[in-house]
Amino acid sequence: MDSIIVTGGAELSGDIPIAGAKNACLALMPATLLSEEPLTLTNAPRLSDIATMSALLGSLGSEVSLLAGGKVIAMSSHQLTSTRADYDIVRKMRASNLVLGPLLAREHQATVSLPGGCAIGARPMDIHVSALEAMGAEIELKDGYLHAIARGGLKGARHRLKFPSVGGTENMLMAATLARGTTVIENAAREPEIVDLAKCLRAMGARIEGEGSETITIEGVDRLHGATHEVVTDRIELGTYMLAPVIAGGEVECLGGRLDLVESFAEKLHDAGVVVEQTNRGIKVRRANGRIHAVDVSTAPYPGFPTDLQAQMMAMLCTAAGTSTLEETIFENRFMHAPELVRMGAKIEVHGGTASVTGVERLKGAPVMATDLRASVSLILAGLAAEGETRVNRVYHLDRGYEELEAKLSGAGAKIERVAGQ
């Protein structure tokens, strides 16, 4: 397996371009299943997860072409050949479960394997299942597959999600576009990726109101047509690269960045002594002066602090003045990067869903192991501030969520390279 070697001590300067959002694109791609006409996505990220979703849609009969070096995804689902999402593909990525709602809406049946993905907690499917059952679907779990049928088609319903699940909201939102009557999703997720999906579905002819709030109303239509849609900026990649000059020193401009996508995150950076400035090209970031200071962070559904930036924030706080507390409220098992940071000299104590981080003057390079996507990049960020060389192993996780990471960081002055596995 490949490794990434980071030699710390180099200040950063220059521009880092931010790609389209992985999590948005993975929800937008299954929307092709709702229409017989073509759906084209621009500003798509070039990631292994996109290839996995392309393979899954292809197995259902969709035609998927990656154009312009992968930045444009052209899809057509004029004739589906299957409604079964097999384990061999679904196990690679949790977002595969987002074909369930569209298949039920269009074909009135679906057989979808329980998903796999990275090891950061259970992330159960019960929220998805209860939402679709409220719309008249009959769903049975058998042999590791969800067997779903909507006799006579899905029907509009009012349903309150027990948790504002992004995936659960996306599945119900897509399913409701072709359901008979009106659907109201209460306690809906409010993430920018939900807003982006609604924007795309509306371009396809869907009738949707309220996205970005806790209540989304969808008036079902008979059919959706084709559309072209630009994928929203990736707020998690944006937040990750905003931290790079804070950790390494220097100043970076994240091209295409929008503060409205990362408000709660940017507020914490400001509290820690970081200058964050919106420009006409993106977001500029630098330390205000000297060493940053400790802040407390608690993850929460949007618009709260994103769980997908918790690991990266911990890497920054490892060298902050004082003691910080990070509380993880979304997923269990999401402090697996902490022991690896400790190997680099960090002072971290984990008690259940809370981590206490006491900043040290300097981290030291060490061989470390990536456990999941966001943990991988947190170790690379830590390496930017470490004395000597940090070797991050098992970086295949990174390719699921960050395109050309080494090129983007080295372009801003980081000493970073990928080496092939033995």
Above 70 in pLDDT, residue 386?
yes
Q: Beta-carbon neighbour count of residue 220 at 10 Å? A: 21
- Identify which of 205, 166, 184 has the alpha carbon closest to the alpha carbon of residue 24: 166
Is 94 annotated to bind a ligand? Reply is yes
Segment 222-250, tens digit of pLDDT: 999 999 999 999 999 999 999 999 999 99
CATH architecture of 22-230: Alpha-beta prism (3.65)
- Identify which of 405, 383, 413, 240 has the alpha carbon closest to the alpha carbon of residue 319: 383
With a CB cutoff of 8 Å and minimum separation 6, the contacts of 388 are 7, 8, 364, 365
Q: Which one-letter amino acid corresponds to residue 257?
A: G
Above 80 in pLDDT, residue 286?
yes
Q: What is the pLDDT of residue 11?
A: 97
Is 23 annotated to bind a ligand? Reply is yes
Is 308 annotated to bind a ligand? Reply is yes
Query: 112 vs 128, 226, 354, 419, CA distance in Å?
Result: 12, 25, 35, 37
With a CB cutoff of 8 Å and minimum separation 6, the contacts of 55 are 89
- What CA–CA distance (Å, rounded) separates 166 from 188? 8
Domain ranges of the chain: 3-19+233-419, 22-230
Please state the pTM of the whole predicted model.
0.94
pLDDT-derived band at 124, boundaries 50, 70, 90: low
- What CA–CA distance (Å, rounded) separates 100 from 109? 9
Q: What is the pLDDT of residue 120?
A: 33
Which tokens in the block code for residue 385? 């501030």
- What CA–CA distance (Å, rounded) separates 359 from 348? 9
- Residues shown for the chain: 422
Q: H helices within 249-309, ranges in order?
A: 263-271
The CATH number for 3-19+233-419, chosen from 3.40.190.10, 3.30.930.10, 3.65.10.10, 3.40.1080.10, is: 3.65.10.10
Peptide bond into 38 cis (omega under 30): no
Which tokens in the block code for residue 134? 């409220």
Sign of CA dihedral 416, 420, 421, 422: negative
Hunting for tokens 């059952």 — which residue is that?
A: 133
pLDDT-derived band at 331, boundaries 50, 70, 90: confident
Asked if domains 3-19+233-419 and 22-230 share a fold, the reply is: yes
Segment 44-98, tens digit of pLDDT: 999 999 999 999 999 999 999 999 999 999 999 999 999 999 999 998 888 899 9
Segment 152-177, tens digit of pLDDT: 999 999 999 999 999 999 999 999 99
Which tokens in the block code for residue 262? 């990362």
Which tokens in the block code for residue 15? 């521009």
**Region 37-43: what's the mean pLDDT?**
98
CA-based angle 220:224:228, to the nearest 5? 130
Q: Beta-carbon neighbour count of residue 331 at 10 Å? A: 18
Distance separating the N- and C-terminal Cα atoms of the chain: 7
Above 80 in pLDDT, residue 421?
no
- Identify which of 42, 33, 92, 36 has the alpha carbon closest to the alpha carbon of residue 69: 42
Supply the residues annotated as catalytic.
118
Which tokens in the block code for residue 99? 């074909």
Sort 421 into a burial class: Cβ within 10 Å, 0-12 / 13-18 / 19+. Answer: exposed
